[in-house]
Structures are given as structure tokens and as C-alpha cells.
Amino acid sequence: TLWFENIFPIKISPYDPRYFLFRKYADDAAKKANLRLIPTKFEHPFIYVGAEPAWKEGGMFVHFQYEGEPEDVLKKVRENIEGQALRSWTNFKIIKAHLVEGKPFVDDMISRIPSRILKVDFDGPDVPLETLYQEFRVYGRIADITLPPPGSKDLPRSALIEFVHVRSATSARNCLYGKRVEGTKLTIGYQKQPAKWPVWQWMTSHPRIMIPIVLALLAGVTYIIFDPIRVFFISSKLRGRLNLENYTNGAEKLWSWTKSSVLGTLGRKDAEKDGRLGTASTDGWSERQAEEERLARQLTDNPDTLTLVSGPRGSGKNAIVKKALHDRKYKIVINCEDLVGQDDHIIMKRLAQQIAFYPQFNFLVQMSGMADTLIAATTGAKAGLSTTVDGQIRKMLDCLSITLNRVNMEQKRARDKLLAQMKSKQLAEEKAAKKALGDGESVERIEGEERKVDAEGQRRVQEEDGGEVEYPIIVIEGFLSREGGKGAWVYQVLTDWAAVCAEYHLAHVIFISENPSASKMLSKAMSNRLLELYSLSDATPEAAMAFVRRRMGSVGDQEEDLEKVVEAIGGRLTDLELMIQKMRAGLSCNGWYFLNCGKLMI
């Protein structure tokens, strides 16, 4: 029997997918072995018996009958291979032939994978090192031979032979399996190759040291890869890129301009007649307009404290803030009512949606807790993997702080760049002015020209860049609306973060609350600064009537009835707005009074 190596690829894993691809090729190669591998002429009669592929070891057995010496057949076959330069198409290496001296054992067991190390069991006396080397060196270079310990009583006694290449080991096993050497039968099998990576072995044997290091590396990778993506999405949310209304406002403004151009003043007179010219909900309410103007002025200053807009439900807190934010470029609204009262994972999900914190991996919080518990049970010490929802919320807000700082720095750099351009232009004009004036002109005239150019540059900066940085605005609605509810810890987290924003001048943070204790909580967070407090209340009867007249316009003979209706409603802004809407829809004062008071006005 002859053994041909390097016919197929060697199996490298229990589920090597190449096996399914080369299995048909192995059968075809076995059928054509007589034509390709065996020469046609021998010195003595030669009978080809058949071929048996051993696809796991990447070779093939060829059985034959020959009246002469088997070594003559091996010599002829090797000459035939060298003459044709037969190579394996799997790795383009020369095919080699060896004479089988034992009784080969061919198996298809999945878990037994060929390796460079052979375990040679001795069925009889131990074989010396020199004999093993002479027997196995024929099939390839040997890296090492390990003999059994002299005093060991373990049976069977065995030696380990490590080859340089795997194919040398497969050839040696298939050719020498079952051979008797000095009266000892050799039983050869593959030995799993031990790991020779001391660094990896040290890492796997010291989990208490490596787990924190791996976590730190993962955190660094997360910071490098995902944080810039999150900052991009938060910045887009802050600038309004993700709001479709910003893209439709242009079309609405174009339609309004076209309508006013075509209809002229007719539409304006009709609007004045209906009393609907003012778009703000507080037109005609002097006290409320004063608060709106104060808030608008504050938002143009440097943010150094927190702002609280408080008042009972329906007092128009959201309306006054919404009007102040109407023309602002950078703004984000966080609604606490959607967060408090929910499960922890829902709180994280909704806050991420409100500030556009993407991508978000909520499942990692639960997985980290499970992993920390498992490691503590196996190693006896906590790995510090688990993270709380409070910590995750703070990480989201920290990412928002980074975005706010970047927006401010971009504006400052743009302003400084424009100022530098104005300064360089000013210097060029000064040079030209000095050259044109000559030495005879006075220094006072040159300095006057310099001041004129500098004032012009400052004016252009104010026109083109707004003069100052437009700080972002963060609105926190529904603050302390569910003070004793589930997840109320969110209020404290938002308060602490807002205090940091005010301390480092990152953004204007406006809290909207109807809870009287909101000012105490915010004052505690800003112990060294005073709050900007806007306390809204119901309008006086005179202010409420003036507000309704402004919005309704002329009511004709229903003036007295309207006064009674307004007196019955009170000065709550939302109630007045609801009444105005119903009366515009056609409901009379007497009808509204009957629906809400249960009787007709006398």
C-alpha cells in the first residue's frame, strides 16, 4: 500500500466546511488515481487493486499487488510524480508518496483532528529515542521527541513526537500505525497541541486583573466610536435638523408673503376686525407681556443661574416660554411627565428619544448586572460591571453637555474669525490711508480714521454674527409634577445637571413647574446664586376683560353678557382661550354660561 499526501486540504476543525466541498472531489480523485499517480510500466507484473481516500488527513491510500520489492514501486511512483510535476490544486505543493509499513487505521470521528504532535503508545518494551527518530524522520522534520518517564507506571507507556508540519505527522501516522519496531507494536494517534501563548495563558488565569482592563478598553472603544455619533444626533436635535416643522416653515412663510402681496391690506383689515392679528396668546395682557420681555432679555445674557417659570395649571407657563423660544436656533425640550412614573428602561428610552441620544444600548445595563453576579459567584469578588439607571441617565446628560459646549465653541470661533478678518482689513486700510495722506497729515486725522474703521468692523460683526454667542436653551417641562411617584429620582438628576450647565455657562436651563416646592429644590442646587423666578398668576378682572376684547374684537350687544361670562370664568389663561374659541365657533355668551354654570344669565 502507498500513501499519497497533499491530495486534499487537512481538516482543521470538527465542522470544517471544506469537507462538504471536497468530498465529491475525493471520490473522483480515488477513481482516477491509477491514471494520474501510478506509472504504466514496472519491472515486474503490477496489479492496481484500488484507492481509499483519507480526506481528514488530506491524503489517499493506493492498494496494489506486486511480485517484486515494494520499494521498487515507490521509486517508480516518485519518478512519475517528479516527471509530471504533479501538484495539489488546493495549495499548489508537490504531491509526495510513502510506503505504508504498518496497518493503517482510517476513521471518520469528528472530534479527532490532525495535529503536529503524535502520541505513540508502546505495546511492549519502550522504544529508544534514536530508533524513534530514524523511523519518523523519513516523513518530515521533527521538532521534539518526549519519552515516557522511567519510573512511571501508567499504562500504556507512550512518547510524544512533535513535527514541524502537520502533513508530516499525518503521513507518519498512516504509514507507521501498527508497525512493530524491535518487538514493540506502535499505536499512533493525534495529540491536541497545547497553547504556546504565555501572555494569553496569563490573561486567562488572572480574571480579576484582566476583566477591569478589558472593560476599560471597551469603554474607550465605545467613547471613540459611539460618542461622536451620539454628539452628532444630539447636535442635530439641538439645531432642529430632525424637526420637520423647520423645513415646512419656509413654505408657510412664502405662502403668507404671497397672500399678503396679492390681497394687500384687505386680509389685514379682516384680521383686525376679527381681533386675531396678534399671534401671541397674551396680547392685551400687560403684566404677562412684561414677563415675556424680561425672559427674552435674560436669554440674551450669559447663562449663570437657573430659571424657574412657576404657576398654577392653566396659567400659561408653557405659552410664555414657547414665545421666548420662537426665534431661537438651539433648543431642546425635556418633558418630565413622560419620564417619571415609568419603569427604568422606559425612562432611559424616552429620555434618549427626547434628546436624540442614538445609538442606545439599554440591554447592556441588564447584561452587565448579570455578568457581575456571575463573576462574583465564580471568582468570589465583584468585577464592577453593573451600572445603575441613574448612572446611565447621567451619561446621557454628560453627552448633552459635550454637545452644548461644542455649539458654544463653534459660535465663538466663528465670531473670533470674523473679528480677525475685520482687524486685518482695518490694518490694510490704515496702511493705505497713511500712504495716501503722506507725512504732512496730522496723527489725529489718522487716529480718527482708525476709530472709524474699527467702529465699522464692530458694526458688521454685530450684523453678520449677532455680536454675541447665542447660548442653547434647555426647557424642562413638568418639573416635580409627580414628586412622590415612581422614578422621582429623575428630578434630582436633572437638577444637578442643570446646576453644572449654569456653573460652566453651557446653556440657559428653564424649569416649568406648578409645584410650589420647585424653587426650594433649585435654590438648594444653586446655593451661591439667586434663581431667575417667573411667578405667573391669574389675571385681574380688568386685565382678563381687556385680553378678551383684544382677542375677540367687537362683540356688539353682547358686551354686558361678555363681562358676566369673564367674571364667572376668572383670570385663568387657558379657560379664557377656551371660551374665545367656542364663541368664535358661534356659541353665544348666554349659551356658554348655561353650559358651564347650569343656568341662564338674567
Greater confidence, 36 or 44?
Answer: 44
Inform me whether the pLDDT recorded for 454 exceeds 60: no
The DSSP code for 184 is E
Predicted pLDDT at 24: 67
The pLDDT, as a whole number, for residue 206 is 79
593 pLDDT more than 70:
no
Residue 334, SS3? strand
Question: Is the Cβ–Cβ distance between 101 and 179 less than 8 Å?
Answer: yes
Average pLDDT over every residue of 156-163: 92
- CA-based end-to-end distance of the chain: 124
Which are the contacts of 412, defined by CB distance < 8 A and separation ≥ 6? Answer: 469
* Residue 373 CB contacts under 8 Å (≥ 6 apart), including other chains: 386
pLDDT band at 265 (very low <50, low <70, confident <90, very high): very low
* Length reported for the chain: 602
Q: Which of 148-152, 251-255, 283-287, 463-467 has the lowest mean pLDDT?
A: 463-467
pLDDT at 465 over 70: no
pLDDT of residue 269: 39
Q: What is the pLDDT of residue 267?
A: 40
360: confidence class by pLDDT, cuts 50, 70, 90: confident
Residue 350 has pLDDT above 50, yes or no: yes
Q: Give the single-character DSSP code of 466.
A: -
pLDDT the model gives residue 275: 35
pLDDT at 499: 94
- Asked if 114 and 57 count as a contact pair (C-beta separation under 8 A), the reply is yes
Pick the range with the lowest mean pLDDT from 27-31, 104-108, 441-445.
Answer: 441-445
**Chain mean pLDDT for the chain:** 79
Question: What is the rounded average pLDDT of the residues 5-33?
Answer: 76
Q: What is the pLDDT of residues 307-334, one digit of tens each?
A: 999 988 877 888 889 988 888 899 999 9
CA torsion through residues 37, 43, 47, 52, sign? negative
Q: What percent of the chain has pLDDT over 70?
A: 75
- Return the pLDDT at 250: 56
- H helices of 177-244, where? 198-205, 207-239
Q: What is the pLDDT of residue 466?
A: 44
| Residue 97, pLDDT score | 92
- Better-scored residue on pLDDT, 11 or 378: 11
156 vs 371, residue with greater confidence: 156
Contact 237, 332 (CB under 8 A): yes
Grid cell, residue 172, equals 507518519
**The residue type at 352:** A
Asked whether residue 439 carries a pLDDT value surpassing 60, the answer given is: no
Is the torsion defined by CA of 269, 321, 352, 482 positive or negative?
negative
Alpha carbon distance 135, 177 (integer Å): 12
Q: What is residue 352's predicted lDDT score, i.e. its pLDDT?
A: 94
Predicted confidence (pLDDT) at residue 591 exceeds the cutoff of 70: no
For residue 390, count CB atoms less than 10 angstroms from its CB and return exposed for 0-12, middle for 13-18, buried for 19 or more: middle
* pLDDT given at position 278: 35
Q: Is the pLDDT of residue 143 over 80?
A: yes
Determine the Cα–Cα distance for residues 299 and 303; give it in Å rounded to an integer: 8
Task: Return the pLDDT at 273.
Answer: 36
Between 401 and 283, the more confident residue is: 401
Backbone angles phi, psi at 125, to 5 degrees: -65, 155
- How buried is 85 (Cβ within 10 angstroms: 0-12 exposed, 13-18 middle, 19+ buried)? exposed
CA–CA separation, 420 vs 339, rounded Å? Answer: 46
Query: All 3 cell numbers of residue 35?
Result: 491514471
Rounded to an integer, what distance in angstroms lies between the CA atom of residue 362 and that of residue 163? 51
More confident residue, 554 or 213: 213
Report the C-alpha gap between 232 and 407 in whole angstroms: 11
What is the reported pLDDT for 521?
93
Query: Is 188 in contact with 119 (CB distance < 8 Å)?
Result: yes
CB 354 within 8 A of CB 477: no
User: What are all long-range contacts of 347-355, with beta carbons under 8 Å and residues at least 24 apart?
Assistant: 347/389, 347/393, 347/487, 347/490, 348/389, 348/392, 348/393, 348/396, 351/393, 351/396, 352/396, 355/234, 355/237, 355/396, 355/400
**Binning pLDDT at 50, 70 and 90, where does residue 498 land?**
very high
Chain-centre distance of CA 597, in angstroms? Answer: 57
pLDDT digits (tens, 9 = 90+) for 373-401: 666 666 665 555 567 888 889 999 999 99
Q: Could you say which DSSP state residue 478 is in?
A: S
Question: What is the DSSP code (8-state) at residue 483?
Answer: T
Q: What is the pLDDT of residue 336?
A: 94
Q: What is the pLDDT of residue 556?
A: 60
Is 161:132 a contact under the CB 8 Å cutoff?
yes
Q: Can you tell me the mean pLDDT for 76-92? A: 83
Res. 369: pLDDT tops 70: no
Distance CA 80, CA 41 (A): 10
As given in the structure block, the three cell numbers for residue 283 are 396680547
> Which helix (H) or strand (E) element contains residue 159?
strand 158-163
pLDDT band at residue 81 using 50, 70 and 90 as cut-offs: confident
**Is 264 a residue whose pLDDT tops 50?**
no
Q: Which domains does the chain have, with CATH numbers?
A: 2-99 (no CATH), 117-191 (3.30.70.330), 541-597 (no CATH)
Residue type at 581 in one-letter notation:
Q
pLDDT confidence of residue 67: 87
Q: Where residue 17 falls among pLDDT bands split at 50, 70, 90?
A: confident
Strand order in the sheet with 59-66: 46-54, 59-66, 2-5, 96-99
**SS3 of 143, please?**
strand
Q: Do the bridges between strand 46-54 and strand 59-66 make them parallel or antiparallel, or are there none, so unpaired?
A: antiparallel
Confidence category of residue 477, pLDDT binned at 50, 70, 90: very high
- Report the share of the chain in percent with pLDDT over 90: 31
Label residue 565 exposed, middle or buried (CB < 10 Å: 0-12, 13-18, 19+): buried
Residue 596's pLDDT band (cuts 50, 70, 90):
low
Cell of 471: 447660548
**pLDDT band of 247, cuts 50, 70, 90:** low
pLDDT value at 214 more than 50: yes
